[in-house]
């Protein structure tokens, strides 16, 4: 989840409700202090988004997230930073959610909520789900990083536990705090061809490196994919594929990687390149290299 704009008319209501609704019942004193500070940062970030105030946004957002956003925007050939403030999805009003937990490890922190998360989309009322707001510390100051939305689907047992304030689900790897400030990516070039990566990795793990670290993506026992950072450049594009099989006779590994076109107007995508391991399952090489040559925005080899 990336930072997304809010309607300005909700600004004063959010601030007032946060100020009135910050009950610290049942909280450890250190967690209460941490929560208060992190929520102030989040509200300041929301205000910057509502006002389309780039200076305030830069003050409240981690440098790491700013560069990630900048690369995403540039990779879609959209104007930076104006595109950050234009989205049909809006960050949620956390004052309407139930507070669950606040924690910090090293230079990473989070606040966890539960409830009906409103992204201001014109759709049916969403079920109750957890929401995690994450932060990074820079120079001793907490900065907003990103929002992690957890869709529990039909798992009503997990939903009941979260509604009751249960924290056991937070012990899974997806929600851990690393304690380490991540490496800030390098700024990418504007793409010649906007493109997205689609990966199917069943009973295996794969890492795909495009153009010498410009875009690196890892998928394990899942499907994944997103817009390629820097897209496809005109001429040769270097790809390194590092697979690791973990299949069984009952569940043999399946691996396929596809590069698809994307456009600024989101017209239907076109398949540009597809790859599967040339060897049979269980005999994959530890690394594969390929070159995708883009001749024009409508042709590739």
DSSP string, 124-193: SPPPEEEEEEEEEEETTEEEEEEEEE---TT-HHHHHHHHTT--GGGGSGGG----SPPPPPPPPPPPSB
- The per-residue pLDDT for range 85-102, each reduced to its tens digit, is 987 677 888 988 999 999
Given a contact cutoff of 8 angstroms between Cβ atoms, the answer to whether 272 and 195 are in contact is: yes
- Report, as ranges of residue numbers, the positions in the chain whose pLDDT lies below 70: 1-29, 88, 122-125, 247-248, 263-267, 298-301
Whole-angstrom distance, CA of residue 14 vs CA of residue 45: 12
Sequence-distant (≥ 6) Cβ neighbours of residue 111 within 8 angstroms: 35, 38, 39, 42, 94, 99, 101, 102, 132, 133, 135
pLDDT given at position 17: 31
Write down the CATH number for the domain with range 8-175: 3.10.450
pLDDT for the residue numbered 189 = 95
Q: Tell me the two tokens of residue 234.
A: 């005109």
Q: And the tokens for 124? A: 């049916």
Q: Is 228 helix (H, G, I), strand (E, B) or coil?
A: coil
pTM beyond cutoff 0.85: no
pLDDT of residue 138: 97
Q: Are 100 and 90 in contact (CB under 8 A)?
A: no
Measured CA to CA, the distance from residue 232 to residue 211 in angstroms comes to 9
- pLDDT score recorded for residue 14: 31
Which pLDDT score, from 0 to 100, does residue 13 have? Answer: 29
Residue 113 has which token pair? 């909520």
pLDDT computed for residue 270 by the predictor = 87
CA dist 94 and 42 (Å) reads 9
Asked if residue 130 lies in contact with residue 150, where contact means CB atoms within 8 angstroms, the answer is yes
> Is residue 112 classed exposed, middle or buried when 0-12, 13-18 and 19+ CB atoms within 10 A define those classes?
buried
Q: pLDDT (tens digit, 9 = 90+) per residue, 149-198?
A: 988 888 898 888 888 878 888 888 888 999 999 999 999 999 999 999 99
- Is the CB of residue 92 less than 8 Å from the CB of residue 119? yes
Count each helix (H run) and each strand (E run) in the chain, helices first: 5, 11
Give the per-residue pLDDT at 23: 35
Residue listed under structure tokens 């569940």: 251
pLDDT at 267: 65
Domain ranges of the chain: 8-175, 195-300
Q: Which helix or strand (DSSP H or E) is residue 45 part of?
A: helix 29-51
Question: How far is 272 from 261, CA to CA, in rounded Å?
Answer: 7
């Amino acid at each position: 989840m990336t930072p997304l704009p809010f309607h300005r008319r909700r600004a004063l209501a959010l601030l007032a409700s946060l100020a009135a609704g910050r009950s610290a019942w049942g909280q450890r004193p250190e967690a209460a202090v941490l929560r208060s500070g992190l929520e102030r940062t989040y509200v300041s970030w929301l205000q910057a988004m509502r006002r389309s105030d780039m200076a305030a946004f830069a003050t409240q957002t981690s440098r790491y997230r700013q560069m990630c956003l900048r690369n995403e925007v540039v990779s879609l050939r959209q104007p930076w930073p104006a595109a950050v403030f234009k989205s049909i999805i809006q960050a949620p009003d956390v004052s309407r959610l139930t507070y669950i937990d606040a924690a910090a490890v090293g230079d990473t922190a989070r606040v966890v909520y539960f409830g009906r998360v409103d992204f201001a989309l014109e759709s049916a009322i969403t079920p109750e789900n957890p929401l995690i707001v994450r932060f990074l510390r820079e120079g001793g100051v907490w900065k907003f990083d990103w929002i992690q939305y957890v869709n529990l689907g039909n798992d009503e047992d997990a939903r009941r536990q979260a509604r009751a304030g249960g924290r056991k689900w937070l012990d899974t790897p997806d929600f851990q705090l690393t304690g380490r400030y991540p490496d800030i990516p390098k700024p990418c070039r504007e793409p010649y061809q906007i493109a997205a990566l689609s990966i199917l990795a069943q009973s295996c793990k794969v890492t795909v490196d495009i153009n010498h670290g410009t875009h690196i993506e890892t998928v394990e026992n899942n499907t994944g994919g997103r817009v390629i950072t820097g897209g496809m450049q005109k001429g040769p594009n270097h790809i390194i594929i590092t697979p690791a099989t973990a299949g069984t006779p009952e569940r043999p590994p399946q691996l396929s990687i596809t590069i698809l076109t994307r456009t600024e107007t989101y017209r239907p995508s076109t398949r540009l390149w597809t790859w599967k391991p040339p060897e049979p399952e269980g005999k994959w090489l530890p690394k594969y290299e390929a070159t995708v040559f883009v001749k024009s925005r409508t042709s590739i080899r």
